[in-house]
Amino acid sequence: MTSSQRKVRSIPHQTFLSKTFHSVNIISLILMISSGLQIYNANPVFGGRGGWSFPDFLLLGGWLAGGRKWHFAAMWFFSLNLLWYGLYILVTRRWQRRFADSGDLKALRVSQNPKRKNYAWHRLVYTSIIPVLLLAILSGLAMYKPVQLHWLSSLFGSWQTLRTVHFITVPTVILFTIAHSLLALKVGSFRLIKSMFV
C-alpha cells in the first residue's frame, strides 16, 4: 500500500445525509439564536424592559415582528431536520454508536485508555443534548401557540418560567456545540470535523 493510499483511507468518511444534517443544523441554529436575541431585546427575560439588551450586530430581523418571522421559520427547518436525522439514525442503527450506554460510564470510571475515555465523553455529551433540544422545541412551541397549546405552556407554570427555560437552552446548546467540537478534535483531529462538511 502506498503512502498516498494510506492518506486517502485515513480521512474519515461521512454520508451525504450526515453532512446535510450538520450543515442545516448550524445554519438554522445561527438564524434562531440571532433572531431570538432580536425578540429578547423587545422584552428582556431578565430585568424586564429595563434589562440588558444585545448589540445590533448580533441581531436578525430588524424589529420584533421581523425577528419572530425569522425565528419561527428557522425553527421549522431545525425541528424537521432533527426529525429526519432521528429517523435516519434509527433506520441505519447508528444510534448504537451515537448514544452513551453503561459501557461508556464504566470506561469513564476504570479505563486507562485515553481514546476510549474521549469516545465515552463524546457519546455522553451527544446523548445529554437530546432532552435539552426537546425542551428548547417544546418551550418554543408553547410560546409560539400559547392558546392552542395551553396544556403545554401550563406545564412550565408561569409565562416568565417558560421564557426563562427557553432562553437558558440557548447557551446550553452553544456549550454543547463547543464541547462536541473539542471532543471531535481529540477523537479524530480536525479531519473529523472537516469530514462533516466537505
pLDDT in the model for residue 179:
79
3-state DSSP percent of the chain in helix, strand and coil, to 5: 80, 0, 20
pLDDT higher for 161 or 15? Answer: 161
pLDDT higher for 160 or 111? Answer: 160
Which amino acid makes up residue 130?
I
Instruction: Give residue 7's pLDDT band: very low, low, confident or very high (50, 70, 90).
Output: very low
Widest Cα–Cα separation across the chain: 67
Q: Is 74 in a helix, a strand, or coil?
A: helix
6 contact partners, CB below 8 Å, separation of at least 6: none
* Contact in structure between 3 and 185 (CB atoms under 8 Å): no
The pTM (predicted TM-score) of the whole model is 0.75
pLDDT in the model for residue 96:
67
pLDDT in the model for residue 197:
57
Q: Does residue 4 register a pLDDT over 60?
A: no
Considering the chain, what percentage of its residues have pLDDT values greater than 90? Answer: 20
- The mean pLDDT value for 78-87 works out to 87
Instruction: Give residue 5's pLDDT band: very low, low, confident or very high (50, 70, 90).
Output: very low
pLDDT in the model for residue 66:
93
pLDDT higher for 44 or 100? Answer: 44
Per-residue pLDDT of 134-193, as tens digits, reads: 899 899 999 888 899 999 999 999 998 998 999 898 889 888 888 777 776 766 666 655
Across the chain, mean pLDDT equals 80
- Residue 60 burial (10 A CB sphere; 0-12, 13-18, 19+): buried
- The mean pLDDT value for 34-43 works out to 89
pLDDT in the model for residue 74:
92
Please compute, for residue 145, the number of CA atoms within 13 A of its CA located in the half-sphere on the CB side: 8
pLDDT in the model for residue 162:
92
